[in-house]
């Protein structure tokens, strides 16, 4: 569809010819350029925060014994909630009139309501917080599995040699965790770059188009504007970008692991 002329009729649509016109329209669009910048920066920011927080939570869980099962069950609750439901819950928190956040901040602001979703920066930050709250448990569980599988003799040898806890983590455990963390990063890149539910429910892509992701842009072009060819081009370009990013990440990761094994 992205490489075809799409003709919409009362009976549906038909495809004809072979053309790159859809992609030329998309790539020259300011909306697409803004969406790709926003989606890329959003993905990088949220994935980094989730990896750091998820690793920290996994380290805490690793030290627990009897209560680890209960803590893991509680930790998985945010991740188990459907994203649309989670976004709706956060919309109640951020609501500028009766939201929980407004009730907390309003007295500190002289009784004035706070419209968190009313500006570009705060709306993006609010959306990122909701995303991090939901998906950090996923990273934590994967990282915890990697920590449990680490060979204990190497860590014990480093401890006997007098290495501090920070040195052991940074120089011994973290390098051994790279394969596990790479899996978490890849999954999160795939999920974050396909961001749709959160902006659709929380902001609708606004204010203006400041929080409009590539997935939301493709949906609007295809189903609101009924430009099926251009919408398919947005979707195809998004898939291509994600594929290239994942291949580059895997190549860099493999080269690092190879150099470490050689050393």
Question: For 19-51, how does the pLDDT look when each residue is reduced to its tens digit (9 = 90+)?
Answer: 888 899 999 999 999 999 999 999 999 999 999
pLDDT in tens, 232-255: 999 999 999 988 988 888 887 776
DSSP the chain: -TTSEEEEETTEEEEES--SHHHHHHHT-HHHHHHHHHHHHHHHHHHHHHHHHHHHHHHHHHH--TTHHHHHHHHHHHHHS-HHHHHHHHHHHH-TTT-HHHHHHGGGGTT----GGGSHHHHHHHHHHHHHHHHHHHHHHHHHHHHHTS-HHHHHHHHHTT--HHHIIIIIIHHHHHHHHHHHHHHHHHHHHT--HHHHHHTTT-STTTT--HHHHHHIIIIIS--HHHHHHHHHHHHHHHHHHHHHHHHHHHHHHHHHHH-
According to the model, what pLDDT value does residue 263 have? 52
What's the pTM value of the predicted model, to 2 decimals? 0.88
Q: What is the CA radius of gyration of the chain?
A: 23
- Furthest-apart CA atoms within the chain: distance in Å: 77
pLDDT in tens, 86-112: 999 999 999 878 888 888 887 776 666
According to the model, what pLDDT value does residue 176 have? 87
Q: What's the pLDDT band for 259 if we cut at 50, 70, 90?
A: low
Structural domains of the chain, ranges and CATH numbers in brackets: 4-261 (1.10.3720.10)
Q: Is the pLDDT of residue 70 over 70?
A: yes
According to the model, what pLDDT value does residue 260 have? 55
**Mean per-residue pLDDT, 121-138:** 93
Taking the C-alpha atoms of residue 6 and residue 185, their distance in angstroms, rounded to an integer, is: 37
């Amino acid at each position: 569809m992205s490489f075809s002329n799409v003709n919409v009729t009362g009976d549906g649509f038909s495809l004809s010819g072979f053309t790159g016109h859809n992609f030329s329209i998309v790539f020259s669009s300011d909306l697409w350029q803004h969406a790709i910048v926003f989606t890329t920066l959003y993905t990088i920011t949220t994935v980094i925060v989730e990896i750091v927080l998820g690793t920290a939570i996994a380290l805490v869980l690793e030290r627990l014994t009897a209560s680890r099962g209960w803590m893991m069950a509680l930790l998985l609750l945010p991740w188990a909630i459907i994203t649309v439901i989670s976004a709706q819950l956060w919309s109640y928190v951020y609501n500028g009139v009766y939201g929980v956040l407004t009730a907390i901040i309003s007295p500190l602001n002289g009784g004035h309501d706070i419209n968190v979703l009313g500006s570009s920066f705060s709306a993006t930050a609010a959306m990122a917080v909701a995303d991090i709250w939901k998906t950090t448990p996923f990273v934590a569980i994967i990282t915890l599995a990697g920590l449990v599988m680490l060979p204990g003799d190497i860590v014990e040898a480093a401890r006997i040699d007098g290495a501090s806890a920070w040195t052991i983590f940074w120089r011994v455990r973290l390098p051994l965790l790279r394969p596990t963390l790479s899996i978490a990063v890849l999954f999160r890149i795939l999920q974050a770059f396909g961001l749709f539910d959160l902006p659709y429910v929380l902001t609708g892509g606004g204010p203006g188009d400041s929080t409009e992701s590539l997935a939301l842009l493709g949906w609007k072009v295809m189903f609101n504007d009924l430009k099926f060819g251009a919408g398919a081009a947005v979707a195809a370009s998004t898939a291509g970008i994600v594929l290239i990013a994942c291949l580059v990440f895997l190549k860099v990761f493999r080269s690092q692991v190879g150099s470490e094994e050689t050393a």
